[in-house]
Structure 1
């Protein structure tokens, strides 16, 4: 085994003078790297671009799968048959002399760039079963590695390694190749960190959408220009109603006088929460608009950005779901007893009907209604049925 510490380098080391890479190749790699941010499938093209810039015959971008130091998967590859990827992950990784030597010497540190011969001498590699029974299936022999990430920075990329290979009849990678990889490394790290951050955000948004789709009332999110950004499953189902058909398209900039829903949303964009009921009877549509203020720093003080985004809650008056009642209960700090009255109140039940449904006296219901009106800033039942026009904005 070679013990050449001088040739095992890190990303901070300056490239050698004759290690330039052509401007065209550098541009191709940069374009591939930053073009792949947020697109898993595009990283195969990234690996190809880097391999061609370094005159490699085979390349792979590997990550661990969380099952230990000897558990790996191929995130992206070029010129590497799928059967060989699978054979490596399932069996040959534990027989890889390069990996064992790297672990023993602790060189798998973020920024490390080294050649295979810096870690395992060529005669030792050729004598191994790993070389004779696995590597010669490509065939490959010479390796150049860059540790893009070692997973040590919380929230950024997981452990990630780029391996470049050349066929046995090709010359080994040299100091110029190491220097060229140094030139590419900062962009490799930056692009993959951006990619991984984007992926995490995409997963969080997807999880939020699945959560919103599980709700039994409609939710529509609108930007400050009152343009719909997202509608959950229940809102899309309600959108079959003519009054809601536009809410998956565009909201009128100048709402007509009879378009109460558009007026409600545009008022929310100005920071005025409110609600209304469209139509009559059990099929009447109940709508609650909540301004969403984004706090910005101005002169050292936080203030609300204008205009506001809006969250629109929608449901049928005849079957207002428990989720809406729970939302209003939490918003206004209603007691458990008051929360029991709220769903009946939102359905338009009279105090006598509420008392019969709850098995309490009418006087008890009236007392609870008075408390609800006081907490919500309304003065009579019909005000609250029209969905709490004094709802305060939600602040982010």
Structure 2
């Protein structure tokens, strides 16, 4: 069971997560707070490109900069590349269990990166998937500490969906705002409805998607009345109105059963008002529709051929054009092991030649573009 103290910590973390929409530096606080909750040594948000074999730290807490740099150099030899190809967005997973603890302990990545830092266990979630990259929200414990268990899994499952929503809402806020109208220009680019409101719920600005939302007639969830935002769900509206009036920090509310729309309230800090032409707005409100996550990009291969994680990893490296010898060197196993996996792949895919197998499975892989240089 999750304790009352743990729920209070989770609530504080969620508030900080929604602060990140307009203050990205707050991700450092999110990582620090989550490390404390999970009793983790370090935490990070990392962007991974499995096709281009590139990685980049976005935010990190408790990490060693030297090893953060080293992490970015492993490419195909990094088992975390496999984990993002299999993970659904919003799910919590343990990468070492996916690849196999015994198997990974023999790999170059483990010996050169995990062992010197005494890293013993990882837990995290895939929190964003775009055409060009993946983002993970992950945490680590040391070898002398207990492995992450059901408690940490349950707690992280409460947090990860909010990280997903926050990153989705903030997607168009990736550039540093330097001009007066940049906030409004950025809001206009959002496909999700967004509004800037004053403490009395009077609307200072509505983006085009928001204008469409309040114009809807049948089944509308929001409307404008005398220039003020009104939600048709009276209970949720009362809570939203109180949150805006009290300036009580970032909050999120769900509409529908099961949830179909999330309403996120992000206070506008005084330091941000100078960047807004609407100087008296106190909160930004974002409406985000809950949509089904796309299947993991490698999942069609697993479903079609019944591949194991180890076989999938070999197959992906073959798709990249790696030779069996290069694969053996990259992941730290013998060439005989690699050839055994290839033989199993040929059998499972009903292929005689390696080239035929690659052509067959490539047709099932959704396209994933590489990160731009």
Q: TM-score, normalised by structure 1?
A: 0.43
Q: Which has the larger radius of gyration?
A: 1
Q: TM-score, normalised by structure 2?
A: 0.45
